[in-house]
Structure 1
Amino acid sequence: MEKKWWERLFGKKLIRCDTVNNSNGFELIPVNEVLQNTNIIGIYFSFANINLQSDEVIRKLRDLYDRLKNESCSEGKKLEVIQVVMWAHNDNYGDFESSHRESLQGLPWFAMPYSEIVLKTRLSRRYRIKSGVPTLVLLDREGATISISAQERLIEDPSGTSFPWRPRPVDEVLKDVVLQPGGTYFSDHKNYTEDTQYRDLPPSIRGFYFSANWCPPCRAFTPQLTEAYHMIKKKDPGFEIIFVSSDRSAESYRAYTETMPWLTIPFQQTAVRAELAELYGIRGIPTLLLLDNNGHIITRNARTELADDPLAQNFPWKPKPVNILTDRFLSSLHDYPAIVLFVDGEDTEVQFAETVLAPIAENYYKTHNISLSCASEGYFLDSEDDSFLQFFVGIDNELSDILRDLIGLDDVIPLLVALDLPNTRYAIMEYGLEITNGTVEDFVTKLQKNELNYVNMSDERVEAICNFFF
């Protein structure tokens, strides 16, 4: 079916909001029918029990929607909106489903049904939605992200003069910005000139460090990043970091940058700093992201990568087809099926597991037209199949022990498992069968053909697993 990604994101049917009434009545429309002739798709994340900011955003969004509704383009309607009603942690409602209906009544667009809780949770993680903050995400007709915080542009440009507010590339954002040196920058950069701009930096990997002096985790991470910066510079002299401040005063900014050995965006460049945060969808600090020579994102999670690799031996932490199963992959494990090979924690066993899994994983991604960079971000819309498959090595540690116990897996190693948590089931490779490239490939082939003997998990186990993940 054409446009399978629509159903992967939103489910098969959407509520037509102008049909919602107090007696629990509403009309459901197939998602393909709603979106088949749409150029721009807006996902509006609202919060049913927090209305302080939502009122202004929804009013301006409704005005824009009505204005664009009758505007046609060569390929169909300009904008369609799908509302995703979420709940913040503080609960003012006793009946969630009733408040869901109240949130949608009288609106001119569509919404995901209340029952699509799992899909809505995936969407909120995918676009890094902050609890209580109304957010407008814009996608193009192929599902590619245009903006993950368009509500800010909507407030600035309510008439939609520049709609859909496509972000400028980083070199355009920084075109006229003179970068400032951190307090210890000169010790490593003897040839610094006072008018250094982004385009003057040598062609190499560049890091953008979003941080602030008022943020305790930021102050704790900055010394670690400083050490890593010096180590990386020895291996890659062209590497540079640019600090993007979230400080609330110039004094705080100056105090924080006194010990920084890299370049910074001047504090007075408020609009530039805000545009960079919007461009890269920064939802929290500290955040360190890395770009390659062409300005493409290598990783948004360089902070986590550095925590796992403090000597930066694997810098620049490019996406891998097979990953060690750690806490940071738990969310994706809950969202998509995975092949997990549980082994002893010895280096030789881990190397064996990666050697066995890697060629099968690489072939899978190639066959299904999935780039590793997209996979690392959780963006699988180019996949030809409805199910994205991940590949992990589960080493013998506390996390693996807890996960195996919750699922009900035998305590044996090595153990190859097809773990399909989204569908609450799992399948194990036949005991006694040697784990080789050939047997693993055969196992994955059977998974794709739906020929594995799955075991369905009990409701008690599913509840325990959900509590573990969330």
Structure 2
Amino acid sequence: MNDKSKWYERIFGKKLIKCDFANNSNDFNTFPTSEIIKNVQITGIYFSFANINSQSDDFLNKLRDLYEKLNLSSGQEKRFEVVQVVMWAHNDNYGDFELSHRDSLLGLPWFAMPFSEINLKTRLSRRYRTKSGIPTLILLDADGSTVSVSAHERLLEDPNGTNFPWRPRPVDEVLKDVVLQPGGLYHQGHPNAIKGDIRYSDLPDGVRGFYFSAHWCPPCKAFTPHLAEVYTVIRKREPNFEIIFISSDRSAESYGAYMESMPWLAVPFQQASVRAELAQLYGIRGIPTLLLLDSNGHVITMDARSEIVEDPGARDFPWKPKVVNKLTERFLTKLNDFPSIVLLVDSEETELQFAESVLIPAANDYYKTNNINISAVPEEPGVSTCDQNDYYLQFLVGTDNESTAILKDLLNLDDVVPLLLAVDIPNGRYALMDYAVEITTDTVSEFVKKLQENELKFKDIGEEIVENAETL
């Protein structure tokens, strides 16, 4: 974890293959990643799927045209480089993977990750939360920070690259000319609301929620009444809190019917381009999604829905990121994305307090040492760099709950507490602190330091266990 190589070497590996031709051995030539990426303004990561796509794909042709156009007159700095990451969709569709990998790349003008970098490709796919079978183009700035997670859609809309690299506009600019529509129950809870048109700039300073949802979506319809209740509770304490509904409904009638039950504001249905831009701005991949912004427009949390489920009384609103979290279902799934320090304890309140007291100092030291802003949400475009994501480490407390039981089963752990462990599912390994060592602030900090220096006695997680973990 103490690897100080450049961000592009950590995510792509040390070597890239050149796709435009094969050598005499029918293999691609390889080049050092540092030589390819170090003087590039914008790097595109193109996730493709060898067993379902062909090189006649319309998007691929548009990407090739844009690549050649942007680099036609490049000087010392190249405007745009593409690194293709070839994956496989539908694992039951077996074939000659290596041959398919080669055939899908041959003749393309850019670079790709080698076939052998399977683990790095998997980690990269998790990092950007790609979906199997859906080609995705991610754009990164020169420092590795995310410019766009929706470049695939933007290229189809703007094939000439007029607005390349499609840097997202701030939310207040996106909504600048939009007259927001009150929900059916809005005026009941806002008796002093301004008369006439309501614009985003008219809202008082405070936390704002963006609710991406649709009437046709069963989980959305189940969550919306619960959200309305919590919204009312929060506004009694925080009257400036507001939610804006971003619809994914398929008709104006469905949108109108859904709006009748809502006590908040909404982007009008006819503002389809605004709704799409907001979804692209925050990389929305599924609904329902509730995200919260602070008064400066920065993301507080992308998963306020889970926060509400775990904290229905909204006691911890607005759910700012914590350095130490309880191991619940949503943090269990994040074990696939980042290494974690997990302290397993009994469920008594005193044990939870003990766990936090020894983990928090170590977590604070770790984040300070690695210059990690715990408040920066990884999904927020332009905020978290590759450096921050690569060194990100979760600190979790596992109590006697279902998520802890799943983790114990995955790693075949003894039912012994307290137990401190480092879980690194992305690299298929884990390590335990010796049972004989007393768990204190100092010993936890030393354990974290050894993790950083790669000095822990790691055990491999079997392939079967890793596959099970990916379904968490």
TM-score, scaled to structure 2: 0.92
- After TM superposition, give the deviation of residue 22 of structure 1 in Å: 11
Structure 1 contact 37–77 (Cα < 8 Å) conserved: yes
Identity %: 65
1:279 positional shift:
0.7
* Segment drifting more, 16-25 vs 230-239: 16-25
Structure 2 CA distance for aligned equivalents of residues 34 and 286 of structure 1: 40
Unaligned runs of 5+ in 2: none
Q: SS of the residue aligned with 1:242?
A: strand
How far has the Cα of 1:13 moved from its partner?
1.5
Q: Partners in 2 of 1:20 and 1:284 — Cα distance?
A: 40
The residue number in structure 1 matching 2:243 is 241
* 2:430 is equivalent to residue 426 of structure 1: yes
Distance in 2 (CA, whole Å) between partners of 1:294 and 1:22 is: 57
Question: Which position in structure 1 is the counterpart of 2:21?
Answer: 19
1:413-455 deviation line (CA, Å, top 9, x unaligned)? 0011123334433332232332221221222223333333x14
RMSD across aligned positions (CA): 2.3
Q: Does the aligned pair in 1 maintain the 2:144–2:385 contact within 8 Å?
A: no
Distance 1:375 1:413, change over 3 A: farther
CA contact (8 A) 1:343 1:414 kept: yes
Alpha-carbon offset, residue 240 of structure 1:
0.2
Cα 1:376/1:350, change in 2 over 3 Å? farther
1:296 & 1:95 partners in 2: Cα distance?
A: 46
Equivalent in the alignment of 1:333: 335
Whole-Å separation in 2 of the counterparts to 1:421 and 1:277 = 30
Aligned pairs (5 A) from 1:130-149:
130-149=131-150
The offset of 1:123, in angstroms, is 2.1
Alignment of 1:52-67 (within 5 A): 55-67=57-69
Match in the other structure for 2:442: 438
Larger relative contact order (C-alpha < 8 A, sep ≥ 6)?
Answer: 2
Alignment of 1:72-111 (within 5 A): 72=74, 76-89=77-90, 94-111=95-112
Deviations 1:365-404 (A, max 9, x none): 0111011133654956234x96432211111223323322
How has the CA–CA distance of structure 1 residues 195 and 386 changed in structure 2, closer, same or farther, with 3 Å as cutoff?
A: closer
Whole-Å separation in 1 of the counterparts to 2:423 and 2:218:
38
Partner letter of residue 160 of structure 1? G
Count of residues in correspondence between the two structures:
465
CA distance in 2, matches of 1:250, 1:450: 56
Find the residue that maps to 1:18 and give its secondary structure.
strand
SS of 1:372's partner is: coil
Task: Tell me the residue number matched to 1:285.
Answer: 287
The whole-number CA distance in structure 2 between the counterparts of 1:258 and 1:53 is: 47
2:165 aligns with 164
Say if 1:330 and 1:469, in contact at 8 Å, map to a contact too: no
**406-415 or 308-317, which moves further after superposition?**
406-415
CA distance in 2, matches of 1:30, 1:86: 22
Q: What is the TM-score when the length of structure 1 is the normalising length?
A: 0.93
Mapped to 2, the partners of 1:398 and 1:275 lie a distance apart of 38
- Taking a change above 3 Å as real, the CA distance of residues 2 and 285 of structure 1, as seen in their structure-2 partners, is same
Report the CA distance between 1:88 and its aligned residue.
2.4
Does the C-alpha gap of structure 1 residues 426 and 2 become closer, same or farther in structure 2, counting only changes over 3 Å? closer
Change (3 A) 1:23 1:228: farther
- Secondary structure of 1:399's match? helix
Match of 2:387 in 1: 382
Q: Please, which runs of 5 or more residues in structure 1 have no aligned partner?
A: none
Query: Aligned AA for 1:242?
Result: I
Equivalents in 1 of 2:454, 2:359: separation in Å?
20
How far apart in 2 are the matches of 1:105 and 1:436?
Answer: 56
Deviates more, 1:388-397 or 1:424-433: 424-433
